[in-house]
Amino acid sequence: MAKVKIKFACTQCGTESPKWMGKCPGCNEWNTMVEETETEIKAPVGRSELTRTKEKARPIIDIESGQEPRILTGMSELNRVLGGGLVPGSLLLVGGDPGIGKSTLLLQASYSLSAKGLKVLYVSGEESVKQTKLRADRLGALNDKLYVLCETNLEVIEEAIAEVEPDFLVIDSIQTVYRPEIASAPGSVAQVRECTAHCMRISKINGVATVLVGHVTKEGAIAGPRLLEHMVDCVLYFEGERHHTYRILRAVKNRFGSTNEIGIFDMAEEGLREVTNPSELFLSERPLGVSGSTVVASMEGTRPVLVELQALVSPTHFPSPRRMASGFDHHRMSLVIAVLEKRMGMFLQNQDAYLNVAGGVKLDEPAADLAAIVSLASSFKDAPTKPFDVVFGEVGLTGEVRAVSRAEQRVKEAHKLGFKRVIMPEMSMKGWQAPKDIQLIGVKTVAQALKAALE
């Protein structure tokens, strides 16, 4: 006989408890525990014989290896993030803030694939068919190979998949889909988990590349249990600032490619446009000849990106100075300020310090340390930096400048955009030839770098 079991699960992190709690013990959020019913069916004797697989273990050298075929989406930035295109039978999860452009991106990708002759099924649980058609009219994404369905019942969706037999499937969003046999509301932990597992089986059995759109929490993580990110093959985050038109597509998990690549798009009236030269975009409004502004060469995967790093140092009126960073790691900011105080003798204990990466970009590599030091020192001394300098390098606690990877690509990107000088670690200058009309200044210490940048 089936036994009904009642439990409580957190809608934020998926933590389960046999009784209700006001505060979730897993994520410490209040009023997120909801009641769920679970049916336990005791398997009859001998049931394990029916589920036993006949697959035998084999030596790994006897298994044939083959390259997975890729499906190019027609959007080079999306292909870059995916590792070269879509893999048939893969399951992708796309998350992002409301209104950031997830549906626009996937509708444009669906149109590009349908224009190549592939069948695409776009399932929307949040918009009607007419609303999707209006958006497709605005984007110019109309093709007879692009099928649209407004449905939230997973059984009906499965029937539509069997009827259309698509090569590419989009479900927008997974929080709106439900299975009738599960006694929970759509969007609950049990529904999201089971619907994702069922979509994974459909994708693997039919060889359909499937994309699930996931809502995000107020912290920016994909809503639902963390198990979802382990089940899918690829997790993409679509990020961007509300006050800027560009968007960044970033992979945090990818079984078929690198997780260091990013794709950059510009949101326009007719949809998302690909940005092939992001450095030029981020530096388009850079002021020249001002203090506290430095251009840093950062690496996003295999792509070099030049961005502006701004610093402001001003006297404080409080007992403890403020340290604020936007787009830059707060702990590394404290580290470089301590190096300036100890190794360069700059008294910053009565100064507020602010660091900002212009354009809302996030720098998460140590190569930005030297540019942060130059910007802070420039603002503290009120000494303008040279407008055609690019700075990069890792800074140690003793004030030394350490080598960084891919220095050649960073220098070539600076040369392509017309910069005249590059201040970089001396150890990174070995083993390659720099362009002729750009000057490389190799430094070993922070003192040498500040002398070259500010004098």
Whether residue 291 is annotated as binding a ligand: the answer is no
* Whole-number Cα distances in Å, 270 to 114, 135, 139, 210, 263: 19, 10, 5, 25, 19
DSSP SS3 for 80:
helix
Taking the C-alpha atoms of residue 332 and residue 343, their distance in angstroms, rounded to an integer, is 16
Whether residue 100 is annotated as binding a ligand: the answer is yes
DSSP SS3 for 50:
helix
Residue 76, strand partner residues: none
Whether residue 145 is annotated as binding a ligand: the answer is no
Whether residue 378 is annotated as binding a ligand: the answer is no
Taking the C-alpha atoms of residue 278 and residue 266, their distance in angstroms, rounded to an integer, is 10
Whether residue 96 is annotated as binding a ligand: the answer is yes
Whether residue 98 is annotated as binding a ligand: the answer is yes
Q: What are the φ and ψ backbone dihedral angles of 303, each rounded to 5 degrees?
A: -105, 125
* Whole-number Cα distances in Å, 228 to 9, 93, 187, 231, 384: 15, 8, 13, 5, 49
Strand order through the sheet with 389-391: 323-326, 351-357, 303-315, 293-300, 389-391, 421-425, 439-443
Residues within the annotated binding site for ATP? Answer: 96-103
Residues within the annotated binding site? Answer: 96-103
